[in-house]
Each structure stands twice: as structure tokens, then as C-alpha cells.
Amino acid sequence: MSDITLLAIESSCDETSAAVIHNGIILSNIVAGQEVHSKYGGIVPELASRAHQQHIVPVVHEALAQAKIVKKQLNAVAFTGGPGLLGSLLVGVSYAKAFAKGLGVPIIRVNHMQAHILAHFIDDPKPAFPFLCLTVSGGHTQIVMVRGYLDMEVIGETQDDAVGEAFDKAAKMLGLPYPGGPLIDKYAALGNPLTYEFPHVDMPGLTYSFSGIKTAFLYFIQRHTKLNPDFVAQHLPDICASIQYTLIRILFSKLRKAVKETGVQRIAIAGGVSANKGLRKTLEEAAAEHQWEVFIPSFEYCTDNAAMIAMAGHYMYEKGLFEEWTFSPEPRLKI
């Protein structure tokens, strides 16, 4: 096949990102975050859509400039079609359609969760198939059997909250700004993970549940602050280390079960929470203990970015998987 050069756009949540990929090699990956949500303790969808509209033109311009690619070299435009926030997705989808239509090139609709997994094919070492991927983000917690670039099956997932949501909600209860996951990670490094124990229910099979631990954590904070109003301030590192340890333990109990059930010992992690240092370390320790072959993405490709959309777009382009112009975003798109 001749050269493939794509522009990719990601706008599913609160990061506006654009990337350029040439024959499977990422040439640029620009990410603009949105500070506006931190004071609200969570993402405000309407503000996210507006911020995407402000960011998308300069972000795409910068991605093309850094890649030293001019528009007429592009063969297609890839974009996140879902899952994500409807208003945020709409900005990226409309922009991608208009951009591609103007150039007379096709569009490629990428599944955001597949793209998180395909981020593993940006850099070396790349996993061989099949492998299991623990995909952990603000909206999802899944164990995925990956048999090929575009051949994936969810074999376990959460029945309620995502683990990223559990991190963020715990952080909010501690008075930390949104998104709190990275802050829990930071303070956890300074604390003792065995200081506090949090009860949680073990779900059947490969199903996760994080809503119970969230409630247990809330009662724990309320109980201690009643006795000592400065409890959180005085014990923040130990509290963060303990809740992080529990969340990681829950993640790993099902992951170990999945390895046992499938016999697949090649394990990858993906999604925003895969940036967590405790999770990365635990995976490395498990690899040494069980002789697993593990794949941990570089930090820049853990949280939302368009490079992963570009990588997925590349494999879809090779298969001629183009989208109709009438496509509308799918907030609940499944793998």
C-alpha cells in the first residue's frame, strides 16, 4: 500500500487533542487540557464543549505544523466517535467531517476504548496477540481479550463506577481538586498503604464494583473527622496510600482470575489510571512473581490523546474501514 498520512482528533472528554501519523509513525501529538473544571469538582459537560470549540482550531494547526505536514498530504481524518460526552464528541466529529469534506478525503470513526489499547502499538516493545488489557479510565474499567488490532472482546467490566471515578470521588472527599486521581497517586507515594483497611465486596466472575468502596470511604472520613476535625490534613499520605492500595488490589484480584481462566499471560494496562505509579509497580511485581509478560504505556499515551486515535485510524485505513458522512457521535459506544 502507498503512503498513509492521517490527521486524528480526540475530543471525548476534557482534553482536546490532535495528532498526525505517517505510515504508523506518530509525527505529532498536541493535547490541550481544560482547567475550567477543577473548581467544580468534576467535568461540567457544557463547559467542556465550549472549551473544545476554543481549542480545536489551534490544536489541529499546531499538530500539522509540528509534523511538517500540509493539509493536501492527508489521506483521511480519524476522530473519536464514542464513547464520551455527547457535546464534546460533537465538536470533534463536526470538525473532522468539515475538514475532511473540504479536502475530499474519507473519515474514520475510532472507538475511544479500542484506541486506549492500541496506544501500545505506538512505541516498542509492542505486545504480540493475544494479550489481556486492563483498561482503566474515568469512565471504564474493563478486562479485554485482544486477539488482533481490531479484534477485541470485553471479558470483564464494572457494573457501576469506573476505577478512575473511584479515585476522583475519594479525592473530592479529601478536599482535593478535580481530577484527583493523580493527586492521590502523588500523596500515596509518601504514605503507608497498610495504615487503614477498607471493606469491599468481591463480585462474582470477572465483574468489578467500585460503588461500595466509595461509600465505605465516605463513612470512614466522616467517622474520623467527627473525632478529629484535622484528621485528613494530618494523615493525608497514609489515607491516600491505603485507598490506592485497596483499589489496586481489587483490580488485580480479577486480573489474576482472568489470566487463570484464559491462560493468557501477556498483560497490558491502558487508560488514564494506567498512569498510576502504584498500579504500574504492582504490575511489574506481578510480572516477576507469575512470569507474566507485561506492557506499560508511556505516561503521555495513558491519559486521553489523539496519538492513540491516529494509531487506531491507521489500522482501520489499512482495512478500508471508512465512516459515512451521516455518522452521529455515540456516547455509549461499546468495544
List C-alpha distances in Å: 205 to 131, 165, 208: 19, 22, 9
Q: Looking at 132-140, 220-228, 252-260, 286-294, which segment touches Zn ion (CB under 5 A)?
A: 132-140
List C-alpha distances in Å: 95 to 38, 79, 240, 245, 260: 26, 9, 40, 41, 45
How many residues comprise the chain?
A: 335
Give the shortest CB-8-to-Zn ion separation in angstroms. 14
3-class SS of residue 266: strand
Q: Which does 114 bind (CB under 5 to 8 A by kind): Zn ion, ligand KG4, none?
A: none
253 to 292: interface string for ligand KG4, x by CB under 6 A: ------------------xxx-xx----------------
C-alpha to C-alpha distance for 137 and 65, rounded to whole angstroms: 30
3-class SS of residue 157: strand
Q: Which residues are CB-neighbours of 76 under 8 A, at least 6 positions away?
A: 4, 6, 100, 105, 106, 107, 108, 313, 317, 322
- Are the beta carbons of 6 and 21 closer than 8 angstroms? yes
28 counts as binding Zn ion under rule CB under 5 A: no
Pick the closer one to ligand KG4 by CB: 34 or 276.
276
Q: Looking at 21-29, 43-51, 178-186, 214-222, which segment touches ligand KG4 (CB under 6 A)?
A: 178-186
Pick the closer one to Zn ion by CB: 137 or 142.
137
Pick the closer one to ligand KG4 by CB: 100 or 113.
113
Give the shortest CB-137-to-Zn ion separation in angstroms. 4
Pick the closer one to ligand KG4 by CB: 43 or 69.
43
Instruction: Among 15, 168, 304, 323, indicate the residue that binds Zn ion (CB under 5 A).
Output: 304
C-alpha to C-alpha distance for 222 and 173, rounded to whole angstroms: 9
Instruction: Among 42, 182, 193, 331, indicate the residue that binds ligand KG4 (CB under 6 A).
Output: 182
137 counts as binding Zn ion under rule CB under 5 A: yes
- Are the beta carbons of 83 and 139 closer than 8 angstroms? yes
User: What's the distance, Cα to Cα, between the start and end of the chain in Å?
Assistant: 27
Instruction: Among 81, 164, 297, 329, indicate the residue that binds ligand KG4 (CB under 6 A).
Output: 164
183 to 222: interface string for ligand KG4, x by CB under 6 A: --x-------------------------------------
DSSP state letters, 107-154: EEEEEHHHHHHHGGGTSSSPPPSSEEEEEE-SS-EEEEEEEETTEEEE
Q: Looking at 175-183, 212-220, 285-293, 307-315, which segment touches ligand KG4 (CB under 6 A)?
A: 175-183
Pick the closer one to ligand KG4 by CB: 13 or 74.
13
For ligand KG4, the binding residues (CB under 6 A) are 13, 137-139, 164, 167-168, 179, 181-182, 185, 271-273, 275-276, 303-304
For Zn ion, the binding residues (CB under 5 A) are 137, 304
